[in-house]
Chains A and B, each alone.
Chain A
Amino acid sequence: MAAPVDADFRTRLQVWLPKLVLSPSLAMALVFVYGFILFTVYLSFTDSRILPSFGWVGFENYFKLFRLRHWEIAVTNMGVFAVLYMVICTAIGLALAIFFDQKIRGEGILRPIYLYPMALSFIVTGTAWKWMLDPGIGLENTMHALGWESFAFDWIKNRNFAIYTVVLAAVWQTSGFVMAMFLAGLRGIDNEILKAAQIDGASNWNLYRRIIIPQLRPAFLSAFVILAHLAIKTYDLVIALTGGGPGRATELPATFMYSYTFTRNQMGIGAASATIMLMTIAAIMIPYLYSELRERK
Chain B
Amino acid sequence: MAAMQQESAVRTSNATRVLIYLLLLLFAFFYLLPLFVMGVNSVKPLSEITGGNMMALPEMWTLEPWRKAWSEAQVGVQATGLKPYFWNSIKMVVPAVFISTILGALNGYVLTKWRFRGDTILFGLMLFACFIPFQIVLIPMARMLGIFGLAGTTWGLVLVHVVYGIGFTTLYFRNYYAAFPTELVRAAQIDGAGFFQIFWRIMLPSSGPIIVVSVIWQFTNIWNDFLFGASFADFSSQPMTVALNNLVQSSTGVKEYNVHFAGAILAALPTLLVYVVAGRFFVRGLMAGSVKG
B132: interface (CB < 8 Å): yes
Contact assessment for A18 and B24 in the assembled complex, using a CB-CB cutoff below 8 Å: no
Does B120 sit at the interface, judged by CB under 8 A?
A: yes
Q: Does A34 have its Cβ within 8 Å of any Cβ on chain B? A: yes
| Cβ contacts under 8 Å, B167 to chain A | 29
- Max chain A C-beta neighbours (<10 A), residue from B1, B54, B110: B54
A40 to B194, CA, bound (A): 42
A96 to B28 Cα, complex, angstroms: 11
B9/A25 in contact, CB under 8 A:
no
Given A113-B28, A142-B55, are A102 and B12 neighbors across the interface (CB < 8 Å)? Answer: yes
Q: Separation in Å of the B82 CB from the closest CB of chain A?
A: 12
Known: A29-B129, A191-B9. A119 touches B137 (CB 8 A): no
Q: Are A34 and B224 in contact (CB under 8 A)?
A: no
A123-B267, A128-B34 known; A146-B53 Cβ under 8 A: yes
Is the pair A121, B31 in contact by a Cβ cutoff of 8 Å?
no
On whether the beta carbons of A40 and B103 are closer than 8 Å, the reply is no
Residues of B with C-beta under 8 A to A22: 106-107, 110-111, 122
> Which chain B positions have C-beta within 8 A of A236?
226-227, 241
In the assembled complex, A79 has its CB within 8 A of some CB on chain B? no
Closest to B279 in A: A112
Is the pair B224, A278 in contact by a Cβ cutoff of 8 Å? no
Please state if A104 and B20 are interface contacts (CB–CB under 8 Å): yes
Instruction: For B51, give the chain A residue with the smallest CB separation.
Output: A145
Q: What's the count of A-B pairs with C-beta under 8 Å?
A: 287
Q: Does B183 contact A (CB under 8 A)?
A: no
| A281 contacts B133, C-beta separation under 8 Å | yes
A19 and B116 contact, CB distance less than 8 A: yes
Bound form: Cα–Cα A277–B137 in Å? 12
- Contact residue among B30, B54, B170, B244 (Cβ-Cβ distance under 8 Å from A124): B244
Tell me whether B245 and A123 are in contact (CB under 8 A). Answer: yes
A227 at the interface (CB under 8 A from B): no
- Residues of B200-257 at the interface with A, using a CB-CB cut-off of 8 Å, are 220, 223-224, 226-227, 231, 241, 244-245, 248-249, 257
Contacts of A65 in B (CB 8 A): none
Question: What's the least CB distance linking B290 to chain A, in Å?
Answer: 11
Contact status A187-B6, CB under 8 Å? yes
Q: Find A172's partner among B31, B106, B166, B248 (CB 8 Å cutoff).
A: B31
- By the criterion CB–CB under 8 Å, are A18 and B110 in contact? yes
A-contacting residues, B250-271, CB 8 Å: 257, 260-261, 263-265, 267-268, 271
Chain B residue with the shortest CB-CB distance to A169: B34
- Do A122 and B9 touch across chains, with their CB atoms under 8 A apart? no
**Residue B181 interfacial (CB < 8 Å):** no
Q: Which residue among A30, A139, A236 has the maximum number of chain B CB atoms within 10 Å of its CB?
A: A236
Q: Mark each residue of chain A from 179 to 223: 1 if its CB lies under 8 Å from any CB of chain B, else 0.
A: 010011011110100110010000010011000100000000000
B54 contacts A114, CB within 8 Å?
A: no
Q: Map CB proximity to B onto A1-29 as digits: 1 under 8 Å, 0 otherwise.
A: 00000000000001001110110111011
Residue from the list A28, A123, A189 in contact with B244, Cβ < 8 A = A123
Could you say which residues of chain A place their CB within 8 Å of the CB of B271? 119-121
Which of A67-75, A82-90, A282-290 is found at the contact surface with chain B? A282-290
DSSP class of B's interface residues: helix, strand, loop or mixed?
Answer: helix
Q: How large is the interface on A (under 10, 10 to 19, 20 to 34, 35 or more residues)?
A: 35 or more
Residues of A within 8 A of B20 (CB): 99, 102, 104
What 16 new A-B contacts, CB under 8 Å, besides A102-B8, A121-B226?
A: A28-B166, A36-B140, A52-B139, A95-B23, A113-B32, A121-B244, A123-B244, A131-B257, A131-B261, A139-B54, A141-B54, A142-B55, A187-B2, A187-B3, A240-B245, A273-B135
B: residues with CB less than 8 A from A are 1-4, 6-12, 16-17, 20-21, 23-24, 27-28, 30-35, 37-38, 41, 49-50, 52-56, 103, 106-107, 110-111, 114, 116, 120, 122-129, 131-141, 143-144, 162-164, 166-167, 170, 178, 194-196, 220, 223-224, 226-227, 231, 241, 244-245, 248-249, 257, 260-261, 263-265, 267-268, 271-272, 274-276, 279, 283, 292-293
A: which residues have CB within 8 A of B? 14, 17-19, 21-22, 24-26, 28-30, 32-37, 39-40, 43, 52, 92, 95-96, 99-104, 110, 112-117, 119-125, 127-132, 136-139, 141-142, 145-146, 172, 176, 180, 183-184, 186-189, 191, 194-195, 198, 204, 207-208, 212, 229, 232-233, 235-236, 239-240, 243, 253-254, 257-258, 261-262, 267, 270-271, 273-275, 277-278, 281-282, 285-286, 289-290, 293, 295-297
